[in-house]
Structure 1
Amino acid sequence: MTESTDESFYDRADAHIHLSNEQLKAFENLGKVSASMMFGTTRFNAWASAQSFKSGAEMAQAREAMLNYFCEQYRMMLEDNLDDHINNFTQYMKTENA
């Protein structure tokens, strides 16, 4: 956990993961549930970003900086989680039949 990560950071993230896991039970399509979660994240981040601007024109001027920030953050988090799953593959991918 970094200095800027508050104590409930992982609890909030886990709540989103829990919702996606529940959706998997109903839709049984990992790719579609994953795509919906990613779309929801981008939609929320666009809305959250808009909160700090006075106009669409002002927001448009910062568009590239926002894209760079969010893409960099996503890549960093994805790299960390991929490495975690690579290093703990056997533990994380256990099945009841294994």
Structure 2
Amino acid sequence: MPQNADDSFYDRADAHIELSNEQLGQVQDLGKVSASMMFGTTRFNAWVSARNFKSGEEMAQAREAMLTYFCDQYRMMLEDNLDDHINNFATYMQGSAK
């Protein structure tokens, strides 16, 4: 489980995924919906990060550390989910069109 996870971690993640699935019905372009979800995540994380600083200058000094943290977390979560889909491909993709 990722850092800062609590009992409702997966419920919140599933709610975001559900919203993206609803948007697929309107846009019907996986890439566009994925890009919007990723942008929203980065924008929210930048805002959450900014709340920990007193000034833009102070935040700028921590920029590289924040980039490292968020990129490492994203990579770890993506690796876990890619491995999960590789190991359960037949089950997860049953009935999915290419």
TM-score, normalising length: structure 1: 0.94
Kindly tell me: are residues 70 and 20 of structure 1, through their superposed partners in 2, closer, same or farther at Cα, counting changes over 3 Å?
same
TM-score, normalising length: structure 2: 0.94
Q: What is the distance in 1 between the residues matched to 2:43 and 2:28?
A: 23
Q: Look up the match of 1:48.
A: 48
Paired residue secondary structure (1:53):
coil
Asked if the contact 2:2/2:77 (under 8 Å) is kept, the reply is: no
What is the Cα-based RMSD across aligned positions, in Å? 1.6
Kindly tell me: are residues 36 and 65 of structure 1, through their superposed partners in 2, closer, same or farther at Cα, counting changes over 3 Å?
same
* CA offset digits 1:33-91 (Å, max 9, x no partner): 00000000000000000000000000000000000000000000000000000000000
Q: What is the distance in 1 between the residues matched to 2:44 and 2:4?
A: 20
Larger RCO (CA under 8 A, 6+ residues apart):
2
Q: Where does structure 2 lack aligned partners over 5 or more consecutive residues?
A: none
Q: What is the distance in 1 between the residues matched to 2:3 and 2:74?
A: 18
Asked if the contact 2:24/2:33 (under 8 Å) is kept, the reply is: yes
* Structure 1 residue runs of 4 or more that deviate by more than 4 Å after TM superposition: none
Q: Partner letter of residue 49 of structure 1?
A: S
